[in-house]
Amino acid sequence: MKPLVAHEIRGNWATLLLPIQADDAIDCALLGDEIEHCIAARVAGIYSNGTACELHTQTEAEYDRV
């Protein structure tokens, strides 16, 4: 994956809302549904681990999976 620079970022982007189950595990099936919905909406891009601090609470394995 090639990182984007500012002038390459165009259009509407969607952020993923990390679905957390009662046991604090990530609901990967629901996350997959969310990604499919974003794809169907034809957004220009999708990003995760944004401004809600999910990044700081994930294990390395969870981060890699998301």
Per-residue pLDDT reduced to its tens digit, 13-53: 999 888 989 998 999 999 999 999 999 999 999 988 776 66
pLDDT in tens, 3-21: 888 888 899 999 988 898 9
Asked if residues 19 and 31 have their Cβ atoms less than 8 Å apart, the reply is: yes
The whole-angstrom separation of Cα 13 and Cα 42 is 9
Q: Domain boundaries in the chain?
A: 10-65
Asked if residues 19 and 54 have their Cβ atoms less than 8 Å apart, the reply is: no
